[in-house]
Structures are given as C-alpha cells and as structure tokens.
Amino acid sequence: MTRPKIAMIGAGNIGGVLAEQAAYRELGDVVLFDVVEGMPQGKALDMAEGAPIAGADVSITGVNDYSGIAGADLVIITAGLARKPGMSRDDLLNTNLAIMKQVAEGVRDNAPDATVIVVSNPLDAMVYTFKEVSGFPKNRVVGMAGVLDSARFRAFVAWELGVSVRDVTAMVLGGHGDTMVPLVRYCTVNGIPITKLIDADKIDAIVERTKGAGGEVVGLLKTGSAFVSPAMSAIEMAEAILRDQKRVLACACLCEGEYGVSGLYLGVPCVLGAGGVERIIELELDESERKAFDASVDHVRTLVDSIEL
C-alpha cells in the first residue's frame, strides 16, 4: 500500500505552508514544484529535516520539472502572483491566466488522474481556466475560496461572542471577491442562529469584514496576501478528498444548472470525498440572498467571459 502523492504547484508562501501541513499530518508524500531554480528543493529539504520532530514518515521533495509530479493523486495549485496593496484579485487575471494555462498543461501531461484543488487568484477564473485547459472531469477540479471565506466569517462571529471557533459553522457562497455571499441565515453557534445572539448591525459589520478580510491582511502585510489561512483551508479540502471524509464545504464547483447557473465555477456547498466534488447541495435562498448570489454570478461571468483561452 503506497502513500498518496501530493504535488504542490507553486512553492511560495501558501505552497510552503501547504507542503509542511500535508507532510507533517502524513497526508501523503509531498512534491513541491516551482519555476524558481532550487527554491522548492531547499524548502523540501528543510521540511524533511524537521520531519523527525513532527514524527512524519513521508517523503518531501522539490522539483523544477513537471516530470517530478508524475502520477500525483492530488495536486494543489498556488502558482501565480499575489496581490499587493491597492490591487484587486481581478487585477491578477492576465498574468495568472498565462501561468495557469502552462500549469494546466503540465498537470494534464504528468498527473492525468489527479484531483486538483486550485487556489491561485482570481480564483473563480483560475479554476475555470484549469478545467478548460486540462479537460479533467468537473468532479476532479475544485477551487478553494469558500472554506477560507467561511473560516474568516466563523472567526469574526466567535470573537464577537467570545465562544469557541469550533462551535461556529458558516457558509460563504458565490465568487471569491467583494461580491461573495456570507449566508447569515445559515450561520449558527452549535445550532443557535447568530441572529438570536448578535445584533443586526453587528452582523452586518461582520459580513462586511468577511468580504474585505483578504484586503485587510494585504494592507497590513504590504508585501503579499494571506497565506496561512488559505493554506489551512486547502488542507481541509485535501484531507476530505484523501481520507474520503464526505465533508460538506463551500467550494468553487462547476455549476451545470445548479442554482440556476451553467458553465461557471462558483462557491457552493458540496460534498467533498474520494470522488472529489461528489455532489453539489442546493440551498434554498431567500430573496435578498438570491439577489446577492445573482450579483456575484454576474461578476464572475463577466470576469470569465473576458478570458481568452
């Protein structure tokens, strides 16, 4: 019985945390790929030398050639530029589109049976691009955004109430940007709706902070964007897939009729397991939720329509 092979395409800020978490949690053997000569090899060697302390019996290697990811079972893609202050995620489109096309070909040609988690921004356009260029089936191509946005929403609620982050559940749907849709109605503290626990104006403030949370970190860091919480979010998805956990998580999935949307990747609740996106769960949205969701769909559609593959 061999261990799963996990390839991280992009060994930068997020890729490094991804590799460390995947390896030290013994999710599988980890290969870091990057175009910067020596950097993935150096990060991998460093992590491998820490493995005895983590008690992790996995191999951790770094490569600059796609042949090194041959046969990967799971691929997590963070290749691309990150935002700097004053930039929107959409500003990254042209540069990261060219990178994603190259990455999609490399993964298609070397790990044709892999399940792929796309992280690079602008997320909804990048995961769509990977799917189109690779030709992989929709269940094996998923985007990471909703898990992160939901985690941020959960954290803000937990801080407001002084309760355990473990007891707050939340879903953020739609595109990964200012039009995202934190679903207040579906946010609970151990089953108690937050509307019973927090004043409406405070909830509104938490919703707005969730939408701007990425930019808030970019503004503080000044040199890049958040990388630990995105990595942890992708790891939760990776664990659901590799351990067949059938998690219900908000992920960017290809909608083909669900939520009245066709041909777009959007953040929706899905069941994530060994089969990748095993099914999409359709929630009932009230009028205001539907309006916000449709506005998010329009934004993503406009972005994706501008892509020339």
CB neighbours of residue 286 within 10 Å: 9
Tell me: does residue 145 bind ligand TXD (CB under 6 A): yes
Tell me: does residue 266 bind ligand TXD (CB under 6 A): no
For ligand TXD, which residue has the nearest CB? 12
Tell me the C-alpha distance between 27 and 25, whole Å: 5
176, 211, 247, 299: the catalytic one is: 176
Side-chain half-sphere exposure of 19, counting CA atoms within 13 A: 32
State the nearest-atom distance from the C-beta of 192 to ligand TXD, in Å: 28
- 295: buried, middle or exposed (CB in 10 Å: 19+, 13-18, 0-12)? middle
Tell me: does residue 272 bind ligand TXD (CB under 6 A): no
Tell me: does residue 103 bind ligand TXD (CB under 6 A): yes
Cis ω before 182 (30° cut-off from 0): no
Residues contacting ligand TXD: total by CB under 6 A: 34
**CA 258, 213, 271, 118 torsion-angle sign:** positive
Q: Give the interface segment with ligand TXD, choosing from 41-49, 54-62, 75-83, 286-294 (CB under 6 A).
A: 75-83
- Extract the tokens encoding 250: 């908000």
Tell me the C-alpha distance between 52 and 55, whole Å: 5
Would you call 299 a catalytic residue per the annotation?
Answer: no
Under 8 Å between Cβ of 47 and 60: yes
Q: Which of residues 21-60 bind ligand TXD (CB under 6 A)?
A: 34-36
Mark residues 188-227: x for contact with ligand TXD by CB under 6 A, - for none: ------------------------------------xxxx
Contact residues: ligand TXD, CB under 6 A: 9-15, 34-36, 78-83, 92, 96, 99, 102-103, 119-121, 123, 144-145, 148, 176, 224-227, 230
